[in-house]
A and B are shown apart, each in its own frame.
Chain A
Amino acid sequence: MMRALTRYLRIGWNLLLFATGAREYHWALSPLQQSVNYVASLASRQRDKPYWQRVAVYCYGLLKFRENHYFDGMNFVARLRGPLTQAGLRNFILWQERMVRNQQLPPGFKFNAAILVQDGEDMQTDRLFSALCLSDTVNGFSLFWDKAEAERAFAVPLGLTDAESRRMRAGEGIFDLGLALPQAAPGPAARAGHPAPPGADAGRVMADADLLAAEHDGVPRAFHPSLDPRRQVTHFIKIAHPRGYRLAVSLPESADGFADESLAAWLPHLQVLADREESLTICLLNRFVQGADGVSKLPRGIHAIRQAGLTEQDVLAFAMEAEGFFGCLDIYGLAARSAGRPGIYVPLAEPGPEPAYGMRPGHAGAARPGSSGTPARARTRARRPEIVAPDPEAPEMFAALRRWWRDAEAAGLARQMHRGIAVLPSDDGNPQRNAAGLAESQSSTDTGQPVGAAPREGDGRGGLRLPASDGVGTREGAVQSVNRSAVGKGPA
């Protein structure tokens, strides 16, 4: 009794000190905030009493208003022009890394994302929403098709906090989901605006080292499959592909989000691999319009897994679960990368060699007759992609993949993609070594050496190093067994 009385007296005294300005508090700890929060929680428990529910609404509204008044770095705005392409989805994931970085917020804090759609009558948002549902980074999510309404909503603290709104008015802090990543590794040159790759819009290149680093490391918090995708993928694997080595493959997509054109070009090369390795299962992750007709005729060992009814979330979970990954460093590539899957990741924004020559298997490396080639072209031809890390559970499979990849079909495949191939090696988690690797990579960039062409440590040519153990690196520096399920794990 006395103890309770003392407690209430102390609370009353603190309130008096606060009300008279004799004592200052952090806004989140002030007696005002705590009192309103207390009343709101009491009122919200009265679920069958509408009057108290309304009291709770006003109290929580006041708390949100205060939060918007004082808080900063909670809401993020992006812009999207035109259709949502493979690169746009990839950027949506990288944007989440941007949210998390440089924030003095508790781990696990979730952010609000708003996307302003411009000229987006052909913007298909279902995959974006699926990625959002998989994310552990984004909480609230808004899509605005109407610019005027977006600006009005951002102006008041319903959409943005005061500080964020001020930045918006100054034209800062809007992320463009349609931009291309720079080709270079992170470093001063990239920050200063690295020259755009051929074929890319020179004015639309993200000059941001953080984004490149995120592409390299993956964005673990962006891929957090809930119960259903994980269960679905586990069942699928047990029923359809219980044994062997499952290689997730992501092909380049058209603006509509389908990969039919790429499949026609890639299929002969994938077939070579599938024929050579009987225990290998190539699992295509993309959508194919002609699924009912064309894809059902896929050769043995190649499967379009969406034919089994996997949704977008399921496919992302599968990319994290498969033993290896091969293909574009798009949203699926980032999912596999975030889960530490070994594989060959082809950056989306890479410039490609001219596709018209050397198409025949066995002549992949042949130069175009009569062409001496520019230095850039020569560098592209010189690249020899590597498997990132051999699988300790199936070393013979990775050896076969490595052999295959070095064969002519692989180079032919690269040209079919109209892109150069770069391998993003995994790091071994040692921060100092990481920094050194990045520094070396920066020096290689400055000298025009592509990151993907980086040779192994010790061959005297600089560039990112592969781990000495050839294991899949984790942030803790331990070698992670690639056979272990990575789906459903929490953020790093």
Chain B
Amino acid sequence: MRGMGRLRRILRRPASFVRLARGYRAVLHNGIAPDRFAALIDFTYHHYALGDTLTSLVKFACEAEDRGAKAVDLFVHVNPGLPRAPAQGFITPDNYQSYLDQLFPAFLCQPHLGSFRLIRDPMTLALTTASMHWSGAPHWPSLKQHSERRMSYPVGHHEINAFHARNGRLPLLTAPRGYEGWARRFRDTVLKDRFVVCINPRQAKLTPTPTTTHRDAPLPEWYAFIDRTARTMPDVTFLMLGGFQEWEHRLLARRNVMIPRLTGLGLAHELALMHVADAFIGTSSGFATKATFSDRPYMIVDIEAFFSTFIEVPVGGERYPFALEHQRLIWTKENADLLYDYLDEVYRASGRRPLTGGGPGKTSGDALSGAGGPGARIAGGRP
């Protein structure tokens, strides 16, 4: 009898191994639904960068539509011990939460977002990537790409342009999920019938981690542009987008400028406000990427020549292949006249007419003191 019991025990163990293998196989094959697109952003080789993240989201949306997926499931992996790519050494295990928090609203702009999953555990990541590979569901990246842990920057537009060439349209970025209603209420009740222009003159040199400062905007030109606009287009309100450090105190004196971060709003609100604004003017950066993949008029200035190969637009080219009306690229540094002329164009296209006067590039004491007329002051009320 004792021998039989031992034999049973000996046979039970291999049987349990077989059950384990079968169960593992079932999980690998069924982990991801075949009718959904699984996208993984792994910050051990992705950058914490708004522009690259938004471009990646559009790529995912294009591929999901190409593969007939119903929705996009977004997996975001951060390894708390090594939370960044080698190029972003200033991000450490002690502060990565802040960078992740600041970037989170960008993920909500994915047009087909079905779920968002933050993974901070290597075992969960492994099971997820293995399941992506074996379930047959459309996904990005492939297991091979993920194993190599390499990514070239900036993220190019090749797949996006190809999708547009095939379909004649693009899946555009939306307002961050949950914020569109708020933005529309804000537009209706606070901004009312004003002509709202989002601006983002890049100022990396004012931030704690200045990078590529040669792309920073010439602020005197922007101030001259804003002041001239205050005189000739008193119903224009500029929304200054970007981090709290990225604007100078001089903007506070200009009463046709509203700074959302000053009121406690964050990136999510700014991206949502871009969705309901009348135009965007800004330096080539993350907010410009949001404008690029939207249907709003925009002018993106100071695009670097090396970017040409990544976006498949020749240096000096005025439009992306998928650009709509009044969507324009400028490859040189901006000046006040250039900015004003573009605003004048989109302002007139909206059926409004600027007031006469207000010489080019002049800085007016009236504008600084807010004498853009009573309408220049943002009306009261709340959304």
Q: How far is the CB of B247 from chain A (nearest CB, A)?
A: 10
Whether the pair A126, B115 counts as a contact (CB closer than 8 A) is: no
Q: With A20-B13, A22-B9, A158-B128 as known contacts, state yes or no: A291 contacts B264, CB within 8 Å.
A: yes
Whether the pair B97, A158 counts as a contact (CB closer than 8 A) is: no
Whether the pair A309, B261 counts as a contact (CB closer than 8 A) is: yes
Q: Which residues of chain A are near B325, meaning CB under 8 Å?
A: none
Q: State whether the Cβ of A120 lies closer than 8 Å to any Cβ in chain B.
A: yes
Q: State whether the Cβ of B311 lies closer than 8 Å to any Cβ in chain A.
A: no
Q: State whether the Cβ of A81 lies closer than 8 Å to any Cβ in chain B.
A: no
Closest to B379 in A: A293
Q: State whether the Cβ of B114 lies closer than 8 Å to any Cβ in chain A.
A: yes
Whether the pair A57, B115 counts as a contact (CB closer than 8 A) is: no
Q: State whether the Cβ of A258 lies closer than 8 Å to any Cβ in chain B.
A: yes
Whether the pair B123, A228 counts as a contact (CB closer than 8 A) is: no
Q: How far is the CB of A1 from chain B (nearest CB, A)?
A: 32
Q: State whether the Cβ of A21 lies closer than 8 Å to any Cβ in chain B.
A: yes
Whether the pair A66, B13 counts as a contact (CB closer than 8 A) is: no
Q: Which residues of chain A are near B108, meaning CB under 8 Å?
A: 125
Whether the pair B124, A307 counts as a contact (CB closer than 8 A) is: no
Whether the pair A293, B380 counts as a contact (CB closer than 8 A) is: yes
Q: Which residues of chain B are near A65, meaning CB under 8 Å?
A: 23-24, 27, 127
Closest to B148 in A: A50
CA distance A411 to B261 in the complex (A): 34
CA distance A309 to B262 in the complex (A): 6
Q: Is the interface of A mostly helix, strand, loop or mixed?
A: helix
Q: With A140-B117, A292-B259 as known contacts, state yes or no: A69 contacts B23, CB within 8 Å.
A: yes
CA distance A44 to B149 in the complex (A): 12
Whether the pair B126, A57 counts as a contact (CB closer than 8 A) is: yes
Interface-located stretch among B51-59, B179-187, B300-308: B179-187
Which residues of B107-163 have CB atoms within 8 Å of chain A's CB atoms? Answer: 108, 113-131, 143-144, 146-149
For B190-226 the 0/1 string (1 means CB < 8 A from A) is: 1000000000000000000000000000000000000
Whether the pair A146, B115 counts as a contact (CB closer than 8 A) is: yes
For A9-33 the 0/1 string (1 means CB < 8 A from B) is: 0000000001111100000000010
Q: Which residues of chain B are near A22, meaning CB under 8 Å?
A: 6, 9-10
Whether the pair A125, B178 counts as a contact (CB closer than 8 A) is: yes
A-B contact pairs, 27 of them (CB 8 A): A21-B10, A22-B10, A51-B147, A57-B129, A61-B130, A63-B126, A64-B127, A112-B124, A121-B180, A124-B178, A124-B268, A133-B97, A133-B101, A134-B97, A140-B119, A142-B115, A144-B115, A158-B127, A226-B94, A227-B94, A258-B383, A288-B264, A290-B380, A290-B382, A293-B377, A293-B380, A304-B264
Q: Mark A residues whose CB is within 8 Å of B.
A: 18-22, 32, 44, 47, 50-51, 53-54, 56-67, 69, 110, 112, 120-126, 129-130, 132-134, 139-146, 149-150, 152-153, 156-158, 226-229, 254, 256, 258, 260-261, 286-295, 304, 306-307, 309-313
Q: Mark B residues whose CB is within 8 Å of A.
A: 6, 9-14, 17, 20, 23-24, 26-28, 30-31, 33, 36, 71, 73, 92, 94-98, 100-102, 104-105, 108, 113-131, 143-144, 146-149, 176-182, 185-186, 190, 244-245, 258-259, 261-268, 377-378, 380, 382-383
